[in-house]
A and B are shown apart, each in its own frame.
Chain A
């Protein structure tokens, strides 16, 4: 049995706790959360040992693995403490708010030989996996452009009471929403060398971004556009989708399906044909032993536990992979703040952009 502790009992923490609790090879040996209230309720009704801090949990119980689902700002120190004790770590996304810290943690984990994984669950969504397989097989030839989108109804008014409303805590549409399509982009086309035209816009939030737009440029000439808005009530729930265009066709994927169009002469993947192809999640998705909110959440935990059992240090969504996504987010932030812009322009663009932003904010 793998002895696992969970720190952070928010939405994701509870969801992970449930999936881990149902896993036949896992024993939950402790939960920790700064809100003693939740910890007490959970302990009272489930018998799981509860702690008010990670430090306390690390002293009191022996862990093989730790799941970190606290506000993002707290990830770094907690992950570091666990790695120092040789504990395998599953951390919610984003890994940290600083690409340097993320890289250091990836190196530290490698030195200590611990298994790491970050909760980019979209890499376990079957249609996104199928799209990766197709792109890798060169199904649409040279990829010229990728459109990466995420929309949903998270922030629909100006008052937010949790850490997700605070940029400094790791809140905002960039860290919370854009991280997902950006991680898929890294998986599909690698790490960009430059970001341009980036916008971190506010719709309702007072202290963080609600929309993220950016153009990303890749070494091989591919470009990508990111379009993210978590203040869009026309979506019932978070919707992530990717469209890749290439010399031989186009592939679209979301959580439900893959729609692929292949030109004649494209290198046809098995089971696909020239013209339109549609594959649904019902065909593509492997069953999981326990289901909560989507197969991908269980599949990523199964993957992590498997890797821990086998001591497989490098693997899907390991820290070095997640650190790439943190770098891309930093690239976009820097570009949006105007720091990355060459001084060749008159400079009149920036103040105007800021005025626009502040006038929207005051709406």
Chain B
């Protein structure tokens, strides 16, 4: 069982309490505070950081790059897009306006043409690949073996039955970045069926998987069935259900589930990380 450090705690996301979320946002407002936790995680054997393509992520990438000797084989796992960035832009500039805003502006005429042509042809492939490139700029020079599509986008498209972007995303990150594509979802059983339909085989999927059934849409039984029966690679998040399940109980349960290769967890202190690492070692 691999452990991956998540980033919600650094950017004021807490599913249980706004107060806690704000306290964390204040605590981690300096990147040095985040770097301290990342260093602690690294020293405790954690080699992956799953992070939203938040505005501040580029600064963290630079810090890790600058100290590369201390972070050998440390990998970022970008999760894109950072939804609020787009959502606020859509409110302000409309859907197409927002799209134009986020397409790369680095003077690459070909990129602009590709985007423009794609927009004109109503062909989503060009637009999607450009947006991925724009999001990946922040990660130049560091390892990104896995690139994730955020659940807001995955689930929005899934519900509409607009599945082509999944295939485009999977093949583009593989071909362009040599990376494994991952899909984050709150609707695991439904997504597996959809990926089957479009021929994405043995997908890497990150979903809430916890003893409480918290945000496991389709129901905990359906999740356990697909874990036991379907060929896919599962990464569990929200294993502690935002703190609603005691750590030992949560880890005991998750380790009992078949087919889970990693756990993403958020931690704000060295003690938290130590606790999770030692529980996983003890119970595995």
Chain B residues contacting A47 (CB-CB under 8 Å) are 161
- CB of B87 within 8 A of CB of A11, answer yes
With both beta carbons as reference points, the residue of chain B lying nearest to A16 in the complex is identified as B159
Mark contacts of A27-40 with chain B using CB atoms, 8 A cut-off: 1 yes-contact digit, 0 otherwise.
00000000101101
Task: Give bound CA distance, A288 to B219, whole Å.
Answer: 8
Which residues from 144 to 180 on chain B have a C-beta closer than 8 Å to any C-beta of chain A?
152, 155-164
Which residues from 266 to 289 on chain A have a C-beta closer than 8 Å to any C-beta of chain B?
280-283, 287-289
Which of B18, B88, B152 is A153 in contact with, Cβ under 8 Å? Answer: B88
Chain A residues contacting B17 (CB-CB under 8 Å) are 256-257, 280
Task: Give bound CA distance, A160 to B93, whole Å.
Answer: 6
Does A42 lie at the interface of the complex (its beta carbon under 8 Å from any beta carbon of B)? yes
With both beta carbons as reference points, the residue of chain A lying nearest to B156 in the complex is identified as A18
**Stretch in B41-49, B60-68, B94-102, B255-263 touching the partner:** B94-102
Which of B84, B92, B155, B164 is A237 in contact with, Cβ under 8 Å? Answer: B84
- CB of A281 within 8 A of CB of B92, answer no
Does B12 lie at the interface of the complex (its beta carbon under 8 Å from any beta carbon of A)? yes
Chain B residues contacting A363 (CB-CB under 8 Å) are none
Which of B18, B88, B215 is A256 in contact with, Cβ under 8 Å? Answer: B18
Does B33 lie at the interface of the complex (its beta carbon under 8 Å from any beta carbon of A)? no
Does A239 lie at the interface of the complex (its beta carbon under 8 Å from any beta carbon of B)? yes
Mark contacts of A42-61 with chain B using CB atoms, 8 A cut-off: 1 yes-contact digit, 0 otherwise.
10111110000000000000
Chain B residues contacting A236 (CB-CB under 8 Å) are 11-13, 21, 25, 84
Which of A21, A153, A280, A283 is B160 in contact with, Cβ under 8 Å? Answer: A21
Which residues from 138 to 157 on chain A have a C-beta closer than 8 Å to any C-beta of chain B?
153-155
- CB of B92 within 8 A of CB of A162, answer yes
Chain A residues contacting B155 (CB-CB under 8 Å) are 18, 290-292
Which of B16, B92, B95, B214 is A257 in contact with, Cβ under 8 Å? Answer: B16
Does B110 lie at the interface of the complex (its beta carbon under 8 Å from any beta carbon of A)? no
With both beta carbons as reference points, the residue of chain B lying nearest to A155 in the complex is identified as B92
Chain B residues contacting A256 (CB-CB under 8 Å) are 14-18
- CB of B160 within 8 A of CB of A289, answer no
- CB of B244 within 8 A of CB of A42, answer no
**Total number of B residues with any Cβ neighbor in A under 8 Å:** 48
Chain B residues contacting A38 (CB-CB under 8 Å) are 95
Which of B88, B96, B124, B186 is A291 in contact with, Cβ under 8 Å? Answer: B186
Task: Give bound CA distance, A133 to B186, whole Å.
Answer: 28
Does B276 lie at the interface of the complex (its beta carbon under 8 Å from any beta carbon of A)? no
Shortest C-beta distance, A280 to chain B (Å), equals 5
- CB of A280 within 8 A of CB of B244, answer yes
With both beta carbons as reference points, the residue of chain A lying nearest to B219 in the complex is identified as A287
- CB of B90 within 8 A of CB of A11, answer yes
Mark contacts of B208-222 with chain A using CB atoms, 8 A cut-off: 1 yes-contact digit, 0 otherwise.
000011111111000
- CB of B92 within 8 A of CB of A45, answer no
- CB of A282 within 8 A of CB of B95, answer no
Chain A residues contacting B214 (CB-CB under 8 Å) are 282
Does B281 lie at the interface of the complex (its beta carbon under 8 Å from any beta carbon of A)? no
- CB of B159 within 8 A of CB of A22, answer yes
Q: Footprint of B on A, CB under 8 Å?
A: 9-11, 14-15, 17-22, 35, 37-38, 40-42, 44-48, 153-155, 160-162, 164-165, 236-237, 239, 241, 254-257, 280-283, 287-293, 295
26 contacts across the A-B interface (CB closer than 8 A): A14-B156, A18-B157, A18-B158, A18-B159, A20-B159, A21-B159, A41-B124, A44-B122, A48-B160, A154-B91, A160-B92, A161-B93, A162-B91, A162-B92, A236-B25, A236-B84, A241-B18, A254-B18, A257-B16, A282-B214, A282-B242, A282-B244, A288-B217, A290-B159, A290-B217, A295-B215
* A-B interface, 8 closest residue pairs, ranked by CB to CB distance from nearest: A18-B159, A291-B186, A282-B244, A22-B159, A291-B217, A21-B159, A161-B93, A162-B94
Known: A48-B160, A236-B12, A256-B16. 14 other contacts (CB 8 A): A10-B95, A11-B87, A11-B90, A21-B159, A37-B96, A41-B122, A44-B122, A154-B88, A162-B92, A164-B91, A281-B16, A282-B242, A287-B219, A291-B215
